[in-house]
């Protein structure tokens, strides 16, 4: 019985960490609108080498800043049909605790332009939003942990 | 003096024809020709295609899943339009040191396996990729051959349906080339799409 409960908890733990929510543009805009929080939104994909390589930096940043008003959102640009076959298994494997979404979009172009007119569409890309300071900046580049920290310090 | 003027004129033309590499081309610019090594070892230039009316220049590569998703459609574009005067010219912009899968031998292998009917060129110095302003793979530049050079008429994605799941998708490149063949300007001249960032050489 004890063992069953343990297994049950293990299962709940795994499925909770493997949650990937679909996110459309209006939800994303709403999600980053809290004035007390700085949002760092990273656009990545399971197939994108440099994206996968930098994800641990975002995870580490969120862990080391958990008591600060900053929130990391990881938005996958994988094909929507790959949610169950690629994205969820990837998250399960890496056990990321940062919030993960899959971009629900009609077309890539619509999504890209809504995020930032200057984004070419190349991955990875990162958006930082601070409503309080009126900041909304997009970076088409990779980030190290230190660079993320600097980005936050400069915009908080 | 006359010679001096001619030289100045040539210099001026060269400046207008070749914009700074960092900016990249915009629709209406005149695109530079190139000399790049094909997978068969030969050097290819746009000028080699004497009977072409224009070109579908596709920056693509081996490793990128988005490029792979479009590979068949790139091959179809060449089949559809090479005979009509718009051949596909594929160029790999990536630094093979950063991505061994995009090395010249691997490009040769992929072109042979998939039976590419178009050249697949390696931009070893990445100069042409910088000049064109390629942002991600795949990235298409439709050029129209005119008396004053190869004019950029369309920049962007092949269509708006990477997954090829929507039967009502818009074929941007086909529409652009069809318009040019009919003597018109493309209705949509630039689009964006998700893609794999270019692996530039370190320190470049």
Q: Give per-residue pLDDT as tens, A17-61.
A: 458 999 999 999 999 999 999 999 999 999 999 999 999 999 999
Q: Is the peptide bond before B120 cis (omega within 30 degrees of 0)?
A: no
Tell me: pLDDT of A7 over 60: no
Residue B133 sits in a domain whose CATH number is 3.40.30.10
3-state secondary structure of B192: coil
Cβ distance B194 to A123 less than 8 Å, yes or no, reads yes
Query: Scanning every residue of chain A, which has its alpha carbon at the shortest distance from the alpha carbon of B155?
Result: A120
Cβ distance B193 to A121 less than 8 Å, yes or no, reads yes
From CA B151, how far away is CA B192, in angstroms rounded? 20
Over range A81-107, report the average pLDDT. Answer: 93
Q: Give per-residue pLDDT as tens, B161-199.
A: 999 988 899 999 999 999 999 999 999 999 999 999 999
Cβ distance A112 to B65 less than 8 Å, yes or no, reads no
Chain A touched by B197 (CB under 8 Å):
yes
Q: For residue A75, give every residue at least 6 positions away whose Cβ sits within 8 Å of its Cβ, in sequence order, or none.
A: A23, A28, A41, A42, A43, A44, A100, A101, A102, A103
Distance from CA of A48 to the nearest CA of B (A): 7
- Residue matched to tokens 């656009």: A43
Sort out which chain B residues have CB atoms less than 8 A from A123's CB and list them. Answer: 136, 194-197
Tell me: pLDDT of A16 over 50: no
pTM for the predicted model, two decimal places:
0.86
**B24-53 residues touching A, CB cutoff 8 A:** none
Tell me: pLDDT of B134 over 50: yes
Nearest CB among A47, A81, A120 relative to B192 is that of: A120
Q: Has residue B202 been placed in a domain? A: no
Nearest CB among A47, A48, A108 relative to B193 is that of: A108
pLDDT band at B10 (very low <50, low <70, confident <90, very high): low
pLDDT of B23 reads 78
Q: Has residue B46 been placed in a domain? A: yes
Nearest CB among B99, B135, B160 relative to A122 is that of: B135
Tell me: pLDDT of B12 over 80: no
Name the strand (E) or helix (H) holding A113: helix A108-115
A-to-B residue pairs, Cβ atoms closer than 8 angstroms: 58
Nearest CB among B135, B163, B192 relative to A79 is that of: B163
The domain total for chain A is 1
Sort out which chain A residues have CB atoms less than 8 A from B135's CB and list them. Answer: 120-122
Each residue of A16-51: b (16+ CB within 10 Å) or e?
eebebeebeeeebeebbeeeebbbbbbbbbbbbbbb
Which one is predicted more confidently, A113 or B14?
Answer: A113
The domain total for chain B is 1
Q: Give per-residue pLDDT as tens, A108-138.
A: 999 999 999 999 999 999 999 999 999 999 9
Between CA A109 and CA B132, with CA B188 as vertex, the angle to 5 degrees is 75
C-alpha A30: how far from chain center: 15
Helices (H), B59-194: 65-81, 104-113, 127-132, 172-181
From CA B95, how far away is CA A147, in angstroms rounded? 24
Tell me what the pLDDT averaged over chain A comes to.
91
pLDDT band at B202 (very low <50, low <70, confident <90, very high): confident
pLDDT of B156 reads 98
pLDDT band at B6 (very low <50, low <70, confident <90, very high): low
- Domain holding B50, by residue range, is 2-197
The DSSP-derived string for A38-101 is EEEEEEE-TT-HHHHHHHHHHHHHHHHTTTSSEEEEEEE-S-GGGIIIIIHHHHHHHT--SEEE
Residue A86 sits in a domain whose CATH number is 3.40.30.10
From CA B73, how far away is CA B157, in angstroms rounded? 11
Nearest CB among A80, A113, A122 relative to B136 is that of: A122
Cβ distance A109 to B191 less than 8 Å, yes or no, reads yes
Q: Has residue B76 been placed in a domain? A: yes
Compute, in degrees rounded to 10, the torsion defined by CA atoms B48, B53, B57, B58: -120
pLDDT of A106 reads 87
- Domain holding A13, by residue range, is 2-155
Q: Are B87 and B52 in contact (CB under 8 A)?
A: yes
pLDDT of A11 reads 52
Chain A touched by B160 (CB under 8 Å):
yes
Cβ distance A113 to B196 less than 8 Å, yes or no, reads no
Tell me: pLDDT of B15 over 50: no
Q: Give per-residue pLDDT as tens, B86-100.
A: 999 999 999 999 999
pLDDT of A3 reads 64
Sort out which chain B residues have CB atoms less than 8 A from A120's CB and list them. Answer: 135-136, 192, 195
Sort out which chain B residues have CB atoms less than 8 A from A51's CB and list them. Answer: none
Q: For residue B102, give every residue at least 6 positions away whose Cβ sits within 8 Å of its Cβ, in sequence order, or none.
A: B61, B62, B63, B92, B94, B95, B96, B199
Chain A touched by B162 (CB under 8 Å):
yes
């Amino acid at each position: 019985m004890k063992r069953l409960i343990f297994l049950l908890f293990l299962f709940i733990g795994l499925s909770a960490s493997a949650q990937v929510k679909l996110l459309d543009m209006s939800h994303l805009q709403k999600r980053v609108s809290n004035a007390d929080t700085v949002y760092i939104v990273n656009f990545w994909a399971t197939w994108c080498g440099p994206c996968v390589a930098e994800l641990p930096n975002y995870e580490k940043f969120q862990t080391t800043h958990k008591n600060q008003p900053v929130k990391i959102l990881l938005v996958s640009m994988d094909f929507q049909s790959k949610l169950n076959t690629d994205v969820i298994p990837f998250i399960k494997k890496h056990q990321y605790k940062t919030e993960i979404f899959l971009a629900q979009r009609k077309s890539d172009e619509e999504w890209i332009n809504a995020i930032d007119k200057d984004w070419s569409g190349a991955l990875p890309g990162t958006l930082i939003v601070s409503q309080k300071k009126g900041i909304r900046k997009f970076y088409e580049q990779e980030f190290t942990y230190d660079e993320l920290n600097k980005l936050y310090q400069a915009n908080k | 003096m006359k010679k001096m003027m001619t030289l100045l004129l040539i210099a001026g033309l060269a400046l207008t024809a070749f914009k700074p590499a960092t900016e990249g081309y915009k629709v209406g610019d005149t695109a530079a020709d190139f000399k790049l090594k094909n997978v068969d070892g030969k050097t290819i230039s746009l000028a080699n295609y004497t009977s072409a009316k224009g070109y579908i220049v596709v920056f693509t590569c081996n490793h990128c899943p988005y490029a792979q998703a479009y590979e068949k459609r790139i091959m179809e574009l060449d089949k559809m339009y090479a005979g009509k005067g718009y051949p596909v010219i594929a160029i790999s912009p990536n630094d093979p040191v950063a991505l061994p899968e995009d090395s010249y031998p691997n490009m040769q292998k992929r072109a042979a396996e998939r039976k590419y009917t178009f050249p697949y060129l390696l931009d070893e110095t990445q100069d042409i990729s910088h000049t064109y302003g390629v942002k991600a793979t795949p990235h298409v530049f439709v050029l129209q051959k005119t008396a004053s050079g190869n004019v950029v008429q369309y920049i962007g994605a092949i269509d708006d349906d990477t997954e090829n799941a929507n039967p009502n998708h818009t074929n941007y490149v086909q529409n652009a080339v069809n318009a040019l063949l009919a003597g018109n300007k493309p209705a949509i001249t630039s689009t964006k799409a998700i893609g794999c960032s270019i692996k530039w050489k370190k320190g470049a």
